[in-house]
Amino acid sequence: MASSIANKVFIVMGSASGMGLATATTLLAKGAFPGLCDINQDGLSKFIQSLNEPQRNKVITQVVDITNRAAVASFLHSTKKKFGRIDGIARFAGTASHRLGHQEIYEIDETEYNFVMDINVRGIFNILGEALKPGGEGTAPDVPLGRLGMASEVADVVALLLSDEARYVTGAT
């Protein structure tokens, strides 16, 4: 059975390592066209080097500081130019702090707080703001916003969440 994400174009923010890299690899294996961005040029390069030529043709990568809206806009433009559209966005770019797990909240100063918020909040704001601009041609015309979900759509999500493919999902709000 063909994957429902085959031939779709997905942006993966923070795709040079960890969950973002695993997601990029899975999307590619399922026939999607991933647009990969990260500040880690070495990680992106290693991923591209691990691919064969046909796989490389299905991927676009760019070093992007997601706190820089112009850089985000440039990346989205390049992705749309290569693949014609963007069907979805997965965000893995984020940070807890420069010293991940080694600070109490009362030890975080304003500079560190701004660093975390710029990446975790401004970054997603920038990419969604650019991707969803009015007139954003090719931006997933079939997103079911503005109406209630149909029972069959909810059932598809429930089936996914009950499957082994959702084994890492532990809750939803």
Q: DSSP assignment of 37-68, as one string?
A: EES-HHHHHHHHHTS-HHHHTT-EEEE--TT-
CA angle 107, 113, 119 (to 5 degrees): 140
9-143: what fold?
Rossmann fold (3.40.50)
pLDDT grade for 135, boundaries at 50, 70 and 90 = low
pTM of the model: 0.77
pLDDT grade for 173, boundaries at 50, 70 and 90 = very low
Alpha-carbon Rg of the chain, whole angstroms? 17
For 88, phi and psi rounded to 5 degrees? Answer: -170, 165
| Higher per-residue pLDDT: 24 or 172 | 24
For the chain, domain boundaries: 9-143
- DSSP code at position 137: T
Q: What is the mean pLDDT of residues 15-29?
A: 94
Nearest to residue 66, comparing CAs of 129, 119, 131, 7?
Answer: 119
The 10s digit of each residue's pLDDT in 159-170 is: 888 788 888 887
Length of the chain: 173
> Cα-Cα-Cα-Cα dihedral of 106, 107, 110, 112, to 10°?
-130
Using an 8 Å Cβ cutoff, are 92 and 11 in contact? Answer: no
Q: What is the mean pLDDT of residues 28-40?
A: 96
